[in-house]
Amino acid sequence: MKITKDEVMHVANLARLDMDEASIDKFADQIGTILEYVDVLNRVDTQGVTPTSHAISLTNVFREDQEKKTLERDKALANAPQKEDGNFVVPKVIT
């Protein structure tokens, strides 16, 4: 198998996904199949080829650092699952 259950569990943890045994089995199987397929890339000689991250060449965009109106606080908080006194509320971070 191209990817083990332990690796799926490890990666799921890195990606902050919680998985039951059945999902881990299924994902290990399906992702293994995909990774095996992806191995065709190793048949391509890419010695000295520059990787592309953007198909259109990009240039840095600079602008003056000017004060501008941004989203108002109540609008930014409007979709928050939990908020208090103009802040986002999250569960306890330090346990």
Partner 1 sequence: MQLYELTIQQAHALLKGKEISAQELTRAVLDRIDAVDDKVGAYITVARETAMGQAELADQAISQGNIFPLTGIPLALKDLMCTQDLRTTCGSKILENFVPPYDATVVKKLKKEGAVIVGKVNMDEFAMGSSTENSGLQPTYNPWDLTRIPGGSSGGSAAAIAADMCIGALGSDTGGSIRQPASHCGVVGMKPTYGRVSRFGLVAFASSLDQIGPLAKDVTDCAVLMNAICGYDSQDSTSVPRDVPDYTTFLKDSLNGVVVGIPKEYSDVAGLNPDVSKKVQQAANTIEGMGAECVEVSLPHTEYVVAAYYVIAPCEASSNLARYDGVKYGFRAEDRHNLIEMYQSTRSKGFGPEVQRRIILGTYSLSAGYYDAYYGKASQVRTLIIEDFKKAFEACDVILAPVAPTPAFEIGAKVDDPLTMYLSDIFTLSANLAGIPGMSVPCGFSSEGLPIGLQIMGNHFDEGMLLKVAYNFEQATDFHTLKPTL
Question: Which positions lie near partner 1, rule CB under 8 A?
Answer: 3, 7-8, 11-12, 14-19, 23, 27, 30-31, 33-35, 37-44, 46, 49-56, 58, 61, 63, 71, 75-76, 78-82, 88, 90-93, 95
Length of the chain: 95
Task: Decide if 67 contacts 75 (C-beta within 8 A).
Answer: no
18: Cβ contacts below 8 Å, ≥ 6 apart: 12
For residue 79 the two structure tokens come to 């979709």
- Work out how close the CB of 12 gets to partner 1 at its nearest, in angstroms, rounded to a whole number: 6
Nearer to partner 1, 67 or 90 (CB): 90
